[in-house]
Structure formats: structure tokens, C-alpha cells
């Protein structure tokens, strides 16, 4: 008897047919991948299984019985749990309270808090149950969602990009746990754009393209190239990060120490590094180790840093606002797409005005034709699948919105670009496009700082690497001299005490 069977599932939205006659079979204890580019219909299909979306046609069978899953609550009663890519947490509640809301109320909050700590320790997911969600980074929020799903002891667990917040060592630990769950009979639907993960973990893989199934394969028998062809119709372009001589220092951070902004924040301790023209410096680290605080200081959102600790082309910008920093050539892409990178209800054209003011004339008059033209140019240049410049930001898939937001800042031709999580939850084709554009920007002489929890990404595009752990930053390390195992150790704060200084490390590069 199958754990889950979908037969001819279809779902039509006004502008697109998200699912078109999709069929899927998952056996008990099977780890089954669902692969597809952004906008292929994966999220809609998962929401149908979880009861958040009602299909227009088709049949859902669970444990051999035809079911009408009308809500996530009913799905959880059946034994289906899901971790969304975009989270569903209440900002004003603690992590423990958010988890408690989705569980049987026969358990007290104190008991749930203890279970959270136990499961978090077992899975290598560092979560403080008492912290308010609004104080958590994107990665920490994802951990809360994963733990909430696991505490329901599901028969079918749906995971959407679950490893984007983990060190390589923690990924191995999570995979071990998922295999144990599988051996106990729990079926797992695993959505990831990391093809190596799918090939290592999953027994079967259903590939979607344009809302239709293009194949069902055994990932272990496939290559990354063959999976890419099934998913996007071609192989992603090979990036060529040719070595080049870096230019003068553009961003210099020295003696950056910041107390916690809240009880649950991370203190920054004597951070120092530099980024030169024509190079990409990558910052690796597990979410919640000071990335948020560092980005707030560098972007101008937090102006508490000591005078002189942040310099742009030699000028002290520590007290300058984000707008003033943009005027000096610094642009910034935050990790949160909706809410910070873009206003969900506004059109793509209107969202260009958040950081691009060339369409604003004297007296604050906005040239609407220029705004529309800019949005249309970004859509075309960065291959954004959208209903045109008037499409609302929230109507785009995560990957397409990310391409638009990164493109908005790259197109401004900055002298310094700071990007946080540039390809989080983005398919291989879109990720290759974004990384390729960052490399082009570097080759044009821009200084680029990339903060990412995707180690493969940092190794692919960076000239030098830093690691942030517990509010401290490691010495820089030329990528040619680094290994994933070494960086993974450094992500736990275990770098040499007497390591070379920034300047010496750069000279080695």
C-alpha cells in the first residue's frame, strides 16, 4: 500500500496553470525528491497535499484511502507535516509558543519547551525556545519550522530546502536522522535545488517543468547534468571565475564592536576585514552567528558602530544612512525578499523606487514611463518570469523575485555590492544566472561582499573567504587554499588563534 498517491492533480490560477495533470506515488519509508525550477509548480503541489490549496481536479490518496484534505489542521491529523520555504510563524510569540500552537494541547508549554530542546540537540538545530520570533534570522526561523514539524511525529514529512541553514557536518547529521525516520516508516517528500543532496539522500525523484511531470528517476543513477536537463531543459551554464588582480580597498571594516541590540541578539566583537575593487569576498557561517547584526551595520540600518569602523573608499560612513551610502556607490540586497527587499503588495515597477531614484525628478515628481522602463529592463535582463512591470511582488515565485531584487541592485552599477543569501531557495538555472551576474560585476571592477550559508556557492564565486561565528570573524582565506571541511570547522568558531592578519592573507591570495 502506498503512503501517498496523487492522480491527475491540476490547479489553474488566473495567469498560469500551476499543476497540469500531475501524478505522484510515494511508498512508506521512501525519501522522494520533487525537483523543478522556480515556478514549476512544486509549492502549489505541496500545498495541495498539505490542505492549504484545493485542487481543481484530481485525486489524493493517503494510506490507500481517498482523502479531501481541506486544511493544514486536517493534514496534521492524518499525519502529514510540512516545512514551508516561506515561514508561517507569529513574530510576537516565542519559538516555543509557535511550536506549541501546532501541537496537541494535552502537553503543557513547559513540556513542549523541553521537547524542543531535546529534538534541537538531536538534529543539530540550534534553537533557543524562549526567543521571540521577531529576533530570529531567516535561518533560525527555518529551524523552528523544522522542529515544529518533527514534533508532530509525522507519517509523511514535507521538507522545503531544509539544509540551507546548516553546516556540512549538521547536514550529514540531519541526513542520518532522515534516514532513521525513513527506516521507521516515515515517508519524506524532499524539495531541494541542491542536486548533490538529492542524489545522496533520495531514493526516487519526480521532476516538474511548467506544471507537468517530465520524468521520474532514481537520483543515484543520474548526474547533476541529467537532472538539470529534466528540470530546465538544458544544463546550467558553467561559471568561469577566472583569477584576477584585485584593485584598491573599497570597503574597510576595522574594530567593529557592537553590543547586542536585544537580549536575543549577537554581540559583534572587534570585526575587521576589507573588500577590494574587482574581488568577491564570501562570508560563511551558520545563521544566527552575527550575520544579521553585521549586515545591519554595513547597510546603515544600525548606526551604533564606533566612528571610523566602517570606511567606503577611505571615507568614514559609520554614521551614514542607507540612502547616503547608496549615493557613495554602495548597494545592498537583504536576505528577506518580502518585507525588506520588496513590498509584497506593490508592483515590480513601484518596488524599483525603494533603492533606485533616477526616475524621481525635482520636487519629488516621479516619471512613471522611466519606472516602467526600468522594471521591464530588469525583467528581460535577469529572465524574471512575471506578468510584466505591474505584477505584484508577492505574485512571483521566490526565485523569480530574488532575480529581480538582485538585478535591481546590480543594474545600478554599484562600486560596492553587499548581498545576503543571494540564491537562497533558488533553482539551479536562476542560481547560475545570479552567480554569473555577480562575477560579471566583479570583473567590471566592483567590490562584492557575499554573505551565504551555501558553501558550494561561496567556493564557486569567491576570491577569498571569511567565516563568522559567535559574533567574531575569522582571518580571510584564499579560496584556492580552503576546503569545505576546514570552513565547516571554522563555522564552529575553531579557527587558529594565531592566524595570519587580513593583509597577509590577502597578499597570499
> What would the DSSP string read from start to end of 243-300?
-----SEEEEEEEEEE--SSTTS--EEEEEEEEETTEEEEEE--TTSSHHHHHHHHHT
d(CA 321, CA 340): 16
Pick the residue with more confidence: 54 or 134?
A: 54
Q: Where are the strands (E) in 310-413, listed by range? A: 310-312, 315-316, 330-333
- Number of domains present in the structure of the chain: 3
350 inside domain = yes
d(CA 136, CA 355): 25
d(CA 506, CA 466): 11
Q: What percent of the chain has pLDDT over 70?
A: 94
Q: Grid coordinates in use for 174?
A: 540531519
Evaluate if residue 296 carries a pLDDT over 80.
yes
pLDDT given at position 363: 85
Q: What is the pLDDT of residues 314-354, one digit of tens each?
A: 999 999 999 999 999 999 999 888 888 999 999 999 999 99
d(CA 363, CA 487): 51
pLDDT given at position 317: 97
Q: Which CATH number does the domain housing residue 436 bear?
A: 3.40.50.300
Question: Domain check: are 308 and 400 in the same one?
Answer: no
Quick one: 173 exposed, middle or buried, by C-beta within 10 A (0-12, 13-18, 19+)? Answer: middle
Name the pLDDT band for 500 (thresholds 50, 70, 90).
very low
Question: Domain check: are 405 and 476 in the same one?
Answer: no
pLDDT given at position 504: 38
DSSP string, 125-137: ----TTSBGGGS-
Quick one: 503 exposed, middle or buried, by C-beta within 10 A (0-12, 13-18, 19+)? Answer: exposed
> Is 392 in contact with 345 (CB distance < 8 Å)?
yes
Helix and strand totals (H; E) in the chain:
17, 21
Question: Domain check: are 52 and 166 in the same one?
Answer: yes
254 inside domain = yes
Question: Domain check: are 193 and 297 in the same one?
Answer: no
pLDDT given at position 85: 67
334 inside domain = no
> Is 462 in contact with 281 (CB distance < 8 Å)?
yes
Q: Grid coordinates in use for 147?
A: 522542529
Q: What is the pLDDT of residues 421-432, one digit of tens each?
A: 998 777 778 888
Sign for the pseudo-dihedral over CA of 167, 170, 176, 180: negative
- Domain extent for 383: 340-413
Question: Domain check: are 373 and 270 in the same one?
Answer: no
Contacts of 104 (CB under 8 A, 6+ apart): none
Other CB atoms within 10 A of residue 492 CB:
16
Q: What is the pLDDT of residues 246-276, one digit of tens each?
A: 999 999 999 999 999 888 789 999 999 999 9
Of the residues 216, 232, 248, the one at which a domain ends: 232
Of the residues 413, 440, 473, the one at which a domain ends: 413
pTM, 2 dp: 0.73
Question: Domain check: are 311 and 365 in the same one?
Answer: no
Question: Domain check: are 409 and 419 in the same one?
Answer: no
Contacts of 257 (CB under 8 A, 6+ apart): 267, 268, 269, 270, 271, 306, 309
335 inside domain = no
Question: Domain check: are 360 and 423 in the same one?
Answer: no
Question: Domain check: are 198 and 67 in the same one?
Answer: yes
**Which residue has 571554522 as its cell numbers?**
490
Evaluate if residue 59 carries a pLDDT over 80.
yes
Amino acid at each position: 500500500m502506498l503512503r501517498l498517491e496523487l492522480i491527475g492533480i491540476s490547479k489553474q490560477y488566473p495567469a498560469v496553470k500551476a499543476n497540469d495533470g500531475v501524478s505522484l506515488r510515494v511508498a512508506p519509508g521512501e525519501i522522494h525528491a520533487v525537483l523543478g525550477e522556480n515556478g514549476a509548480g512544486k509549492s502549489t503541489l505541496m500545498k495541495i497535499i498539505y490542505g492549504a490549496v484545493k485542487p481543481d481536479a484530481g485525486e489524493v490518496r493517503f494510506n490507500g484511502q481517498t482523502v479531501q484534505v481541506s486544511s493544514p489542521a486536517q493534514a496534521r491529523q492524518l499525519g502529514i507535516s510540512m516545512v514551508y520555504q516561506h515561514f508561517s510563524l507569529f513574530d510576537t510569540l516565542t519559538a516555543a509558543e509557535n511550536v506549541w500552537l501546532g501541537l496537541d494541547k494535552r502537553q503543557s508549554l513547559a513540556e513542549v519547551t523541553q521537547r524542543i530542546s531535546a529534538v534541537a540537540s538531536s538534529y543539530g538545530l540550534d534553537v533557543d525556545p524562549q526567543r521571540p520570533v521577531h529576533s530570529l534570522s531567516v535561518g533560525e526561523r527555518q529551524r523552528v519550522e523544522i522542529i515544529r514539524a518533527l514534533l508532530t511525529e509525522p507519517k509523511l514529512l514535507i521538507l522545503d530546502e531544509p539544509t540551507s541553514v546548516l553546516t556540512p557536518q549538521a547536514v550529514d547529521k540531519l541526513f542520518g536522522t532522515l534516514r532513521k525516520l525513513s527506516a521507521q516508516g516515515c515517508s519524506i517528500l524532499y524539495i531541494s535545488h541542491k542536486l548533490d543532496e538529492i542524489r545522496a539522500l533520495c531514493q526516487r525523484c519526480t521532476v516538474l517543468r511548467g506544471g507537468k511531470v517530465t520524468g521520474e528517476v532514481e537520483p543515484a543513477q543520474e548526474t547533476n547534468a541529467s537532472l538539470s536537463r529534466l528540470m530546465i531543459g538544458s544544463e546550467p551554464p558553467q561559471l568561469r571565475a577566472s583569477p584576477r588582480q584585485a584593485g584598491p580597498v573599497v570597503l574597510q571594516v576595522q574594530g567593529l564592536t557592537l553590543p547586542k541590540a536585544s537580549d536575543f541578539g549577537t554581540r559583534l566583537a572587534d570585526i575587521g576585514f576589507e573588500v577590494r575593487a574587482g574581488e568577491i569576498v564570501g562570508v560563511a557561517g551558520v545563521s544566527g552567528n552575527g550575520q544579521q547584526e553585521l549586515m545591519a551595520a554595513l547597510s546603515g540600518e544600525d548606526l551604533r558602530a564606533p566612528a571610523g569602523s566602517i570606511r567606503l573608499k577611505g571615507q568614514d560612513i559609520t554614521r551614514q544612512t542607507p540612502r547616503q551610502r547608496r549615493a557613495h556607490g554602495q548597494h545592498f540586497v537583504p536576505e528577506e525578499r518580502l518585507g525588506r527587499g520588496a513590498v509584497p503588495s506593490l508592483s515590480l515597477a513601484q518596488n524599483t523606487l525603494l533603492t533606485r531614484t533616477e526616475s524621481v525628478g525635482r520636487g519629488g515628481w516621479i516619471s512613471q514611463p522611466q519606472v516602467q522602463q526600468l522594471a521591464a529592463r530588469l525583467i528581460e535582463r535577469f529572465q524574471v518570469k512575471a506578468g510584466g512591470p505591474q505584477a505584484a511582488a508577492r505574485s512571483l515565485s521566490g526565485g523569480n523575485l530574488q532575480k529581480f531584487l538582485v538585478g535591481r541592485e546590480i543594474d545600478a552599477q554599484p562600486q560596492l555590492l553587499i548581498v545576503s543569501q543571494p540564491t537562497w531557495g533558488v533553482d539551479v538555472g536562476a542560481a547560475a544566472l545570479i552567480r554569473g551576474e555577480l562575477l560579471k560585476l566583479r570583473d567590471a571592477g566592483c567590490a562584492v561582499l557575499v554573505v551565504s550559508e551555501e558553501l558550494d556557492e561561496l567556493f564557486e564565486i569567491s576570491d577569498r573567504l571569511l567565516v563568522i561565528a559567535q559574533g567574531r570573524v575569522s582571518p580571510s582565506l584564499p579560496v584556492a587554499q580552503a576546503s569545505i571541511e576546514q570552513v565547516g570547522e571554522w563555522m564552529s568558531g575553531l579557527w587558529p588563534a594565531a592566524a595570519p592578519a587580513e593583509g597577509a592573507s590577502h597578499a597570499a591570495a
